[in-house]
Amino acid sequence: MESGRGIKEDPGKVNCPWCGTLNRGTARFCIFCGRRLGDQAYNGPRFLFNAREGNNSLWRYILTIILTLGVSSILTGIILGIFLGIILLLSHRTSDIFNMLSNPFYLLIIAGMVFFVAYIFLYLSVRFLHNRSFKSLINTGREIDWKRIMRGAVVWFSILSIFDIIYFIVSPGSFRFSFEPHSFFILSFIALIVFPIQASFEEVFFRGYLLQAFGLILKSPFLVLVVNSLIFAGFHWWNGSNLTMSLSIVTSAFIIGLMLGLITLADDGIELAVGIHIINNLYVSLIHNSPDSGIGNLPSLVVTPQDPYLSPIILIAAVLTAIFILFRNRREDILKVFK
């Protein structure tokens, strides 16, 4: 028997209307996605289906995570250790090393090295362990949309700026302005290199690789979103200077993770999320920083103490504003995440 397109079909088999997997004709549930056969066709986020490309054995995911997060950090540590050893041999003063490691500029450079090496390991793992296109972690087949990245950045920058202006009008005494041209120039140069690497890596890894991986296991896109955001938030626990700040930062990271994940699933790609994440990190390092945050003690233009209770509430308002602006005419794209 042949279909209208001339493709021979097996009358003893049935294609899953959700994911397209070929199942036995007597099967009630799909062997791949677990959904009931005969239900309506899948109309959720197509981005999650990219994980079906290539090889998806559990050991491949475990090894990729170990290589990307573990081996990359160890390798960077070895390179850094050799570099510090050379400095010690040349200067014969351990104080020089301590001064370097306490300098926020050097810490940013080290962070950039870690994320750059992690990027390489993630790329190699996806290409050769999973036998997948690396672009499958970015979108559902279109070319990388740089305009989407810029749009996300512009929208989030505008929201942060407006909220800061309102905050300044309400509480001007909380703001401390400090501009040191030399230090700010150095910070700008380093930040413009490091944060695009760091933020885009986190989006590719969390909203691309891990989000799609959970999509293979969990049936609900919303559940995938929540689990992914919890893991993303957990990685920010050590950013706080004390327990209260750590809880506040983790809560804020969870809210940000929900927003970036929702945008990724609704837009079937990470470009908008990448733009938001990059500009967010540039904003909180160059323009408005808090000494209580994970990247404190930077010569930013404005410094204010962070309110651990108020900050997450303000962030929720900013997130809702961003989602409304980006998807005000795309209600169905948002709703498909909750199906």
pLDDT on residue 85: 79
72 φψ region: left (φ > 0), alpha (ψ -120 to 50), beta (else): alpha
Q: What would the 3-class secondary structure string for the chain be?
A: CECCCCCECCCCEEECCCCCCEEECCCCECCCCCCECCCCCCCCCHHHHHHHCCCCCHHHHHHHHHHHHHHHHHHHHHHHHHHHHHHHHHHCCHHHHHHHHCCHHHHHHHHHHHHHHHHHHHHHHHHHHCCCCHHHHCECCCCCCHHHHHHHHHHHHHHHHHHHHHHHHHCHHHCEECCCHHHHHHHHHHHHHHHHHHHHHHHHHHHHHHHHHHHHHCCCHHHHHHHHHHHHHHCCHHHCCCHHHHHHHHHHHHHHHHHHHHHHHHHCECHHHHHHHHHHHHHHHHHEECCCCCCCCCCCCEECCCCCCHHHHHHHHHHHHHHHHHHCCCHHHHHHHHC
Range with the lowest mean pLDDT among 206-210, 221-225, 285-289?
285-289
Model confidence at 228: pLDDT above 90: yes
Domain ranges of the chain: 1-42, 47-338
pLDDT on residue 160: 96
Q: How far apart are CA 26 and CA 23, in angstroms?
A: 8
pLDDT on residue 173: 83
Q: pLDDT band for position 239 (50/70/90)?
A: confident
Q: pLDDT band for position 125 (50/70/90)?
A: very high
Model confidence at 88: pLDDT above 60: yes
Q: How far apart are CA 339 and CA 337, in angstroms?
A: 6
- In this prediction, residues 34-57 reach a mean pLDDT of 73
Predicted TM-score (pTM) of the model is 0.84
Model confidence at 23: pLDDT above 50: yes
Range with the lowest mean pLDDT among 45-59, 84-98, 246-260?
84-98
pLDDT digits (tens, 9 = 90+) for 64-82: 999 999 999 999 889 888 8
Burial of 46 (0-12, 13-18, 19+ CB in 10 A): middle
pLDDT on residue 135: 93
pLDDT on residue 9: 43
Average pLDDT, the chain: 86
Q: pLDDT band for position 6 (50/70/90)?
A: very low
Q: pLDDT band for position 7 (50/70/90)?
A: very low
Q: Which residue has the higher pLDDT, 30 or 59?
A: 59
